[in-house]
Amino acid sequence: MQLKKAILAAMLIIILAITSIPAFAGVSLRGRVTASALNIRAANSIESEKIGILYSGDIVNIVNKEDGGWYKITLSDERFGYVKEEYIALIDNDTTSRDGDNLSMGEKVLEYAKTFVGVPYKYGGSSPSGFDCSGFTMYVYKHFGVNLPHSASAQANYGTYVEKSELKPGDLVFFKKPGKSIHHVGIYAGNGYYIHAPQTGKTISVVPMTRSDYYTARRIFN
Residues annotated as catalytic (active site), given as ranges: 133, 184, 196
Strands, E assignment, the chain: 29-33, 37-41, 50-55, 59-66, 70-74, 80-84, 88-91, 126-127, 130-131, 160-161, 172-176, 182-190, 193-196, 205-208, 214-219
Query: How would you label 56-71 residue by residue, b for 16+ Cβ within 10 Å and e otherwise?
Result: eebbbebbbebeeebb
* Cα Rg of the chain (Å, integer): 22
**Residue 79: strand, helix, or coil:** coil
41 DSSP β-pair partners = 50, 82
